[in-house]
Structure 1
């Protein structure tokens, strides 16, 4: 049995699990059956993809089923690119299923989650295997609808209903853009099979339009600014293990869609293709982390952080297009490797962080950081594992986030060799924005971890918090270990990605595992190199030595003194730093142009017993400038067109006759 047939059987097993969940939804065993089957199925899919990627990456496994469009059927294909993304998606699916075994016991509406969870996994896998436009779009829509149903789990909540509505509208816009893109690629002959599209490619005059439609269609699902408006609404609304799948995994399916269309189906790249992708990626990275810094809801912080990381990935893809269009294949391979490496890394640490946020929500019932604090003493395992994820997403060595972002900066440093002045000027600006985003990401997660887990409890819920179940901790621990492993041994990941990069750019990075001490040398040793293993050993030895010296050499004499209280004698937890106060310096520097932030202080006069208050107002410019005018226009037109339903039969007939004459005139004048 070929690998693609095996994976299709696994997709069928997931769909069967979804149907089984409906049948046994009232059983006490439903949760264990659904998540247990999902773990087994996703684990098997990981094995199939890993074997294909490492053992036979040059071989493509294909299958055609008598479904879909009558003249081409339903085409499926497993190559190196789809195998890598199948690995990423099912790695996240396995971890989410394991987490769901424990977390699902605390779900308020488990019967609504269980049927759609395996269906969501099946839809994502089908997108990766699809090898014709019809099957791709059908799978894409199935994935979107399954995830929408999961977002609407708590449909009685007004915010969740709004999130589901916005998500559905944006998903429809993205699918329509992809439909147009595939229509242009297929041409007038209607060759919707990907092999047919590869054979003739798109005409040179249409490549820019196809690129724009692909960026719109996949960017709306990935969360590129200003197409991101649904993401911070939908991801926090879903259950936490579903949020991890949507944020850490589903956004990677969108990245896959962009790579498949632009790097595979559209033909050899031109240098200017990289310009809009670089601009969109850099702007998304900078604005995403700024949005994250302004949030008080921990799940919204993580959702906006996903936008930042998607921006980083698209910067890598834009660099690969710019270098590839200029024939700089080695530089293109480096940029593509950095982008794909970050795809894997983000799936790991973002899933870990959403699991940690779900554990906090389970233990306290709170998502607002202002109502948390002091959780490290009450939830030590969750706190430690969340800290690993926060360090990884902040790109701190020796964890995996640093390795991929370091590779991306190495690719940016090759930009002076680009011949076009537009790229020579643009890429350094992009590099500066990425450096700013990295610094703000570190501040963002110092804030998130510090306010949530350190200090003293700010509420009764935080005071009474308790550690979560072992299965949830096990899922987080596995992801934390993978974050450490991929950061300490990046050479193994880079070499495993080589077949994918070679298929997309025509070359690969030099073999890294042959370098001593498992160092990575992306270009040449004279430029730069990095060794995650040595950094890990240095940090471990120096930290252990410092702890030993402190415990052995320091005085054992007990000293008692009043704790430093920043000049405030009040011991109330309300005197601690809050999430808003931590973000205030950043808000005052960037908030004016990024959010049109305003601060209003109400200071009572002497003798007035009212408390002083400061009100901060932030504006989502993307929503106000792009979507609000559209909403107002639609409402205006709807009110005007509402009169049509009150026309007489004669006016209806006249209207139909006029429309028919107009269409005939258009057809008659068509060249």
Structure 2
């Protein structure tokens, strides 16, 4: 049995589990059965993909299969190569851990029968997208993935906000699929060569390749969350159950990245140098806008969703660099940039899944997503707090965790940009590097706020005060992800070498072999340029922290001293006097928000003698939504209202319209011929 056949059997197992869930969804044991089956199928698929990726350097031949489905003259093509194997590792490892987490979290789901059938179907859809090797199969799988995830977003459809999120998501998903359909139509050409093998061997004009790139940015970019196509993401991801949010934010967005890489780096294979400019600009702007909006959020899951937009920006900025380097024949620099993008894809799936699992644990224990109603949870939920802290440090790109390693590689690729021949790229790449540095700094501030307001201090509500630690399945899943964040950070060379078959197949070059470098260091280009050793940083951090703790406990005075706690000038000790999410973000809001989000603050201060409380109102405007989407919504509504009159015409007028339409089409046909 070939690996592709085995993975298709795992996908069939997902679909069979979904059908079983329809039959047993309302039984008491359905949660345990469905998530256990999903866990097993994900585990087998992950093992197959990992073995295939590990052996790709030895046996780089792809595993293919053709099924008698789909278009009659084409069939359904499936292919497992190094790129597909890597993304299947990302998808199925996350699916395995999400299933494990859901074994505990799912017991608290009050609408389990609306979630269970679509969870394995969602996993099946993502696997099929990655395995697809022709345009028809890819688009059918893409749409299946979108519909399954939409059903999960709509699981709690009685909530008006969830219905709005689901409606906006399905509209944007349909728009994205249309863009992908047009892109594949251009690649197939007049001969209808919908197979990826035929597309891979075709020669495309620069105008065709450029138009395909634009359509891919609309199609895959809307699913990934690129600005300005991101408006659905902060609504849909929080609306879904937390284990589904982890898959949508940590994995489904990466399936969109896979679609972009598959077409632009594999099928087209010869990008123009200016394509890198477009992707770079979108990536840098997406990173800054995403993390700035996250900084101003008080809803924990919405904040994490906005943070996903920032990380997608980092990934696309790296892909833009890889396009620019590849177009100029700088294969080693292109391999470095592509490795940084793929490494960050893996890292983001780790720490974003961990953070959404932690948010789900907080939601289960307290029933709250508003950070201003939390606090003090480190005492009530210590294991969740430690795991969530690891995720916060990792996503803030602080060593020795994995987020630092991949973003460090991105900056190393940026330092190679002076060798580019085009002055536009020479100027733009450092500017985008500055945007990425700003987004990294804002991310660190954002997650200091998240952890401090949610887990430290004193409880701000009764729910936070009475919270209890979650079940062992959820804790195990979070602990495994926390360990992976640390291992990928202290041993990045293993990951980089594992990604080498992917860059070899797409770029024709790879980063230097990292396993041969002493002390487990990583060297992107050459030792004389730069190197990084995550293991030594980890050991130094561990040693210095342990030594500091020992010295404090050994030599500090043991005399008991009592004094009133500093209360910021308030005589009454009240948890509400602590810094909240809004107050923590105020400096950033005033510096950046007034320009980018048109933030307005209004203070209602009573006059002396008036016993009313003072009130601060913060008004935030999403300029992209108000400037781009609201006019479109208004135009569609206006047109729909006018076209509505067509429903009330007489039969003679309907026949006249049909006759005029026929005459118009005949004229078009005559002019065309």
TM over 0.5: yes
C-alpha deviations, 1:446-474, integer Å up to 9, x for none?
Answer: 00000000111111111111110111000
CA shift for structure 1 position 204:
2.8
Give the structure 2 partner of residue 178 of structure 1: 180
Structure-1 separation of matches of 2:553 and 2:567: 26
Give the structure 1 partner of residue 656 of structure 2: 654
CA shift for structure 1 position 205:
2.4
Change (3 A) 1:120 1:441: same
Task: State whether residues 209 and 271 of structure 2, in contact with CA within 8 Å, keep that contact through their aligned partners in structure 1.
Answer: no
SS at match of 1:206: helix
Give the structure 2 partner of residue 209 of structure 1: 211
SS at match of 1:601: strand
Structure-1 separation of matches of 2:446 and 2:204: 43
CA shift for structure 1 position 201:
3.6
Structure-1 separation of matches of 2:53 and 2:576: 54
CA shift for structure 1 position 592:
1.4
Give the structure 2 partner of residue 300 of structure 1: 302
Change (3 A) 1:291 1:337: same
SS at match of 2:79: strand
Give the structure 1 partner of residue 74 of structure 2: 72
Residue range with higher mean Cα deviation, 121-130 or 655-664:
655-664
Task: State whether residues 602 and 612 of structure 1, in contact with CA within 8 Å, keep that contact through their aligned partners in structure 2.
Answer: yes
Structure-2 separation of matches of 1:88 and 1:585: 37
Residue range with higher mean Cα deviation, 151-160 or 264-273:
264-273
Give the structure 1 partner of residue 389 of structure 2: 387
Segments of 4+ in structure 1 off by > 6 A? none
CA shift for structure 1 position 542:
0.7
Structure-1 separation of matches of 2:519 and 2:230: 42
Structure-2 separation of matches of 1:350 and 1:125: 20
Structure-1 separation of matches of 2:637 and 2:27: 46
CA shift for structure 1 position 190:
0.4
Unpaired runs of at least 5, structure 2: none
State how 1:200-279 maps to structure 2 within 5 Å: 200-279=202-281
Structure-1 separation of matches of 2:438 and 2:191: 48
Task: State whether residues 101 and 243 of structure 2, in contact with CA within 8 Å, keep that contact through their aligned partners in structure 1.
Answer: yes
Structure-1 separation of matches of 2:26 and 2:320: 49
Return the match for 1:114 from 108, 113, 116.
Answer: 116
Return the match for 1:580 from 574, 582, 585.
Answer: 582
Residue range with higher mean Cα deviation, 338-347 or 570-579:
570-579
Q: Structure 1 residue 416 and structure 2 residue 418: aligned? A: yes
Aligned-residue Cα RMSD (Å) equals 0.8
State how 1:319-468 maps to structure 2 within 5 Å: 319-468=321-470
Task: State whether residues 296 and 579 of structure 1, in contact with CA within 8 Å, keep that contact through their aligned partners in structure 2.
Answer: yes
Give the structure 2 partner of residue 496 of structure 1: 498
Residue range with higher mean Cα deviation, 5-14 or 649-658:
649-658
Task: State whether residues 185 and 201 of structure 1, in contact with CA within 8 Å, keep that contact through their aligned partners in structure 2.
Answer: no
Return the match for 1:476 from 475, 478, 494.
Answer: 478
State how 1:554-569 maps to structure 2 within 5 Å: 554-569=556-571
Give the structure 1 partner of residue 316 of structure 2: 314
Give the structure 2 partner of residue 10 of structure 1: 10
SS at match of 2:68: strand
Unpaired runs of at least 5, structure 1: none
SS at match of 1:524: coil
CA shift for structure 1 position 169:
0.1
CA shift for structure 1 position 567:
2.0
Structure-2-length-normalised TM-score = 0.99
C-alpha deviations, 1:45-90, integer Å up to 9, x for none?
Answer: 1110111111135110000000000001000000000000000000
CA shift for structure 1 position 100:
0.1
Structure-2 separation of matches of 1:569 and 1:409: 49
Structure-1-length-normalised TM-score = 0.99
Task: State whether residues 15 and 118 of structure 1, in contact with CA within 8 Å, keep that contact through their aligned partners in structure 2.
Answer: yes
Aligned positions, number:
671
C-alpha deviations, 1:229-279, integer Å up to 9, x for none?
Answer: 110000000000000000000000000000001001113122111011001
Structure-1 separation of matches of 2:656 and 2:310: 54
Give the structure 1 partner of residue 126 of structure 2: 124
SS at match of 1:205: helix
Return the match for 1:81 from 63, 70, 83.
Answer: 83
Residue range with higher mean Cα deviation, 85-94 or 47-56:
47-56
SS at match of 1:525: coil
State how 1:530-569 maps to structure 2 within 5 Å: 530-569=532-571
Structure-2 separation of matches of 1:226 and 1:588: 23
CA shift for structure 1 position 394:
0.1
C-alpha deviations, 1:80-109, integer Å up to 9, x for none?
Answer: 000000000001101100000000011110
C-alpha deviations, 1:573-628, integer Å up to 9, x for none?
Answer: 11111111100100100111211111111111111111111111001111111110
